């Protein structure tokens, strides 16, 4: 798993173009798969009770992304060459002292970028639901994205693209993550 810096993909915050395509024909891989990474500043999410402070007793929940794996196949949809990329990863969620409800819905995004230009091709927000049974305060949820259809021009391969995942954070949460690393 590789972590990337938020400064490399700051344009993600304001863009919401989403793409979803049906796989019409797959063929053996004819090139590299897109690199899949977890955005360093969005690998963790800490949600505080907004009515109180920013200390340990004020935490509603903390979440962490891990174990990202990706695979891909090449194919065509409506005559366009595609790299169909699948993601598998874990979302761990810990309830804090200020937890207001159960279950908890945790939003995260998946984006496809062209690393050289930082152009966002696809960006979509998903939600994982963390259900806590009985007195359980921590869960690990395996999650997956079934297929991201990335258009790939003839003669190129998926290695020219990067798939990035991270929690959907507010600017304050990003700053909290940055401060927590130091």
Residue 92 lies in domain: 2-181
Whose structure tokens read 């207001």? 100
Tell me the pTM: 0.80
What are the pLDDT digits (tens) for 86-144?
999 999 999 988 887 789 999 999 999 998 898 999 999 999 999 998 889 999 999 99
| Best CA proximity match to 84, nearest among 166, 160, 11, 158 | 158
Query: How many domains does one find in the chain?
Result: 1
- Number of Cβ within a 10 Å radius of residue 34: 23
pLDDT digit string (tens) for 41-93? 999 999 998 766 778 888 999 999 999 999 999 998 898 889 999 999 999 99
* Six token digits for residue 64: 């962490």
């Amino acid at each position: 798993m590789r972590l990337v810096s938020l400064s490399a993909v700051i344009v993600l915050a304001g863009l919401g173009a989403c793409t979803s395509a049906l796989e019409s024909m797959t063929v053996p891989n004819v090139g590299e798969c897109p690199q899949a990474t977890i955005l360093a500043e969005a690998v963790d999410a800490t949600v505080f009770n907004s009515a109180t402070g920013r200390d340990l007793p004020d935490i509603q929940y903390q979440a962490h992304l891990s174990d990202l794996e990706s695979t891909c196949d090449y194919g065509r949809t409506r005559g366009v060459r595609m790299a169909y990329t699948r993601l598998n990863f874990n979302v761990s969620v810990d309830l804090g002292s200020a937890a207001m409800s159960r279950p908890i819905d945790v939003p995260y995004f998946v984006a496809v970028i062209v690393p050289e230009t930082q152009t966002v091709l696809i960006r979509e927000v998903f939600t994982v639901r963390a259900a806590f049974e009985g007195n359980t305060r921590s869960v690990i949820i395996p999650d997956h994205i079934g297929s991201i259809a990335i258009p790939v021009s003839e003669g190129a391969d998926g290695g020219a693209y990067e798939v990035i995942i991270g929690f959907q954070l507010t600017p304050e949460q990003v700053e909290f993550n940055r401060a927590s690393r130091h």
